[in-house]
Amino acid sequence: MLSIPIVDGNVSKETKMIPKWKIYPRSQGHSTVYLNNVVDDPSIEVGDYTIYDDFVNDPMDFQRNNVLYHYPECNHDKLRIGRFCSIACGAKFVFNAAFHSLKGLSSYTFPIFFEEWNLPSDVASIATAWDNRGDITIGNDVWIGYEAVVFAGVTIGDGAVIGTRAVVTKDVPPYTIVGGVPAKPIRRRFDDRTIERLEAIKWWNWDERRIEKAIPAIQSGDIDALELIGSGRCE
């Protein structure tokens, strides 16, 4: 379990366990976790209040079970997930080492087996076994469905929805619902003007007090009220 520095003045140099309420949003169940308090890999960045739910495996093992073929020491690749995202059971993030290089005449990963074939053993040479497609970037308020797969190099915009078992190989625009293999747009969640307003409001960056006040507007779809709360004119 992740530990954090104690910030009070009594024992500032020691560590303590994060209280369970910081990890588990619901006191009655431990299948859902706040993901940023679970991962400890510096190449995985997760925003506040993003949740992962797993009813098959321990959600505490997200880093091991769901972030695959991720070798940042070779590829310097990162997984970035924004705030208030919802990630369903079994969703996978597949990184660069999964994509065998197709630049040569064979897809076999000879450079990985350098001992067998008397090849260079430095990291740069080993990394030629696969194609480096880049990072995975997930925006804010994104919902990723059950057993969906997101490939390296993909950026998913704010407010997007990824359907169950979709395989996302290309970027997804903000507030777009995608599904299928490979994932394709199904529809946009809102009209252009509403999306522009939501992207300008960025409610997910507000402080907790303002978000709590805005929940009725968010859930009812009242963007006028949301803008008013964001402006501070209804304090």
Alpha-carbon span 171 to 80, nearest angstrom: 14
CB 156 within 8 A of CB 172: yes
Nearest to 108 by CA among 129, 94, 128, 126: 129
Residues 71 and 109: beta-carbon distance below 8 Å: no
Residue 135 three-state SS: coil
Q: β-strand 44-46 against 67-68: which pairing, if any?
A: unpaired
Active-site residues, by number, are: 100
DSSP string of 158-214? TT-EE-TT-EE-S-B-TTEEEETTTTEEEEESS-HHHHHHHHHH-GGGS-HHHHHHH
